[in-house]
């Protein structure tokens, strides 16, 4: 979530939505997200949501995207950052199914038992 802190500093962000796989959705991520969500709301007036992909969505998506309504970037995995490595963040076409993937996934906090 460090990357998101940096993005928040540079851009006029009002809402952050994150989509992850069930393989990354563990108690640590859930706890980190709760803290991040609270901090963003209280200190920066930014709404945050995180969803966990359903099996159908996981079969359709592999890339990591950073997107707003006008721009989209193919971005790096957080594991790359944690290892101290670098990678490119490149402009790309916004996937047509991005909203579909979001809508067909499970809320990290409110639907925890649906993807466990």
SS3 100: helix
Query: Mean pLDDT throughout 84-113?
Result: 92
Domain ranges of the chain: 2-115
The structure's pTM equals: 0.80
| 17 vs 31: CA distance, rounded Å | 16
Query: Mean pLDDT throughout 89-106?
Result: 93
Please give the pLDDT value at position 111: 96
Please give the pLDDT value at position 11: 62
| 50 vs 105: CA distance, rounded Å | 9
Q: What is the pLDDT of residues 5-59, one digit of tens each?
A: 555 565 677 888 999 989 889 999 999 999 999 998 998 888 999 999 999 999 9
> Is the separation of the CB atoms in 108 and 52 below 8 Å?
yes
């Amino acid at each position: 979530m460090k990357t998101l802190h940096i993005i928040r500093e540079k851009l006029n962000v009002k809402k952050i939505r994150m989509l992850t796989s069930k393989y990354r959705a563990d108690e640590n991520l859930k706890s980190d997200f709760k803290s991040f969500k609270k901090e963003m709301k209280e200190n920066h007036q930014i709404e945050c949501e995180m969803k966990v992909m359903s099996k159908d969505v996981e079969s359709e998506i592999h890339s990591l995207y950073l997107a707003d309504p006008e721009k989209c970037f193919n971005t790096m995995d957080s594991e790359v950052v944690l290892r101290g490595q670098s990678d490119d963040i490149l402009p790309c076409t916004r996937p047509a199914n991005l909203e579909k993937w979001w809508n067909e996934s499970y809320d990290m906090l409110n639907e925890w038992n649906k993807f466990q």
